[in-house]
Chains A and B, each alone.
Chain A
Amino acid sequence: DAKTTQPPSMDCAEGRAANLPCNHSTISGNEYVYWYRQIHSQGPQYIIHGLKNNETNEMASLIITEDRKSSTLILPHATLRDTAVYYCIVRGANTGNQFYFGTGTSLTVIP
């Protein structure tokens, strides 16, 4: 599975969009990009995933660059409850259920 690189921490003002970047320059053609978040001491929560196209759901949007070497998770209107560690994970569709979580980005939403 491809490695990912994320900034260790970010701040965002409440109500503003939070843009969390992720580099995955060694991603291969059949690998998906997943985003999870973990609020302190709880189990990780699935946010969104994508392969090539941009994706949007009720929680967030995922923008994947055309070369697929990086992506950005967008929380359109951050709230205090979005304060969490966000993990970007790259994983193939046909491998076992093994997610490499990395160190993630600790997002702090500031009132």
Chain B
Amino acid sequence: KAGVTQTPRYLIKTRGQQVTLSCSPISGHRSVSWYQQTPGQGLQFLFEYFSETQRNKGNFPGRFSGRQFSNSRSEMNVSTLELGDSALYLCASRNDRVIKQYFGPGTRLTVT
């Protein structure tokens, strides 16, 4: 099976812009979670989607949003980018019957 894929892998944006990141889960996995990783805060949970519904949400401002499509692919959007949004954004998928999750390679976002 192909692993979790994320696009793009690298992205440079300027403050105030918005960005959309994409995640394709492993075939058959309906749960997709998003994480932000920064040197200062480590790996932090953003949100989880299951069957097109947000099931869990971390402690991030409303500028961070996501959605999931019927084929389980997910996107996350960050509006009005700030310098502090520069991070590695990771997506993870799992089969809902199993707790183990599989991570993608991440999207490195740089905000200038």
- Give the dominant DSSP class at A's interface: loop
In this complex, how many residues of chain A approach chain B with their Cβ under 8 Å: the count is 21
Tell me how far the C-beta of B14 lies from the nearest C-beta in chain A, rounded to whole angstroms: 23
Rounded to whole angstroms, the CA-CA distance of A93 and B88 in the bound complex is 27
B105 touches A99 (CB 8 A): no
Does A96 touch B at the CB level, under 8 Å? yes
B103 touches A44 (CB 8 A): yes
Interchain residue pairs with CB less than 8 A apart (12): A41-B88, A41-B108, A43-B92, A44-B43, A44-B103, A45-B103, A96-B56, A97-B56, A97-B101, A98-B45, A98-B48, A103-B42
Q: A41-B88, A97-B31, A103-B42 are in contact. List 19 more A-B contacts (CB 8 A).
A: A41-B108, A43-B90, A43-B103, A43-B105, A44-B43, A46-B102, A49-B99, A93-B99, A96-B55, A97-B48, A97-B50, A97-B99, A97-B101, A98-B33, A100-B45, A101-B35, A101-B42, A101-B44, A102-B42
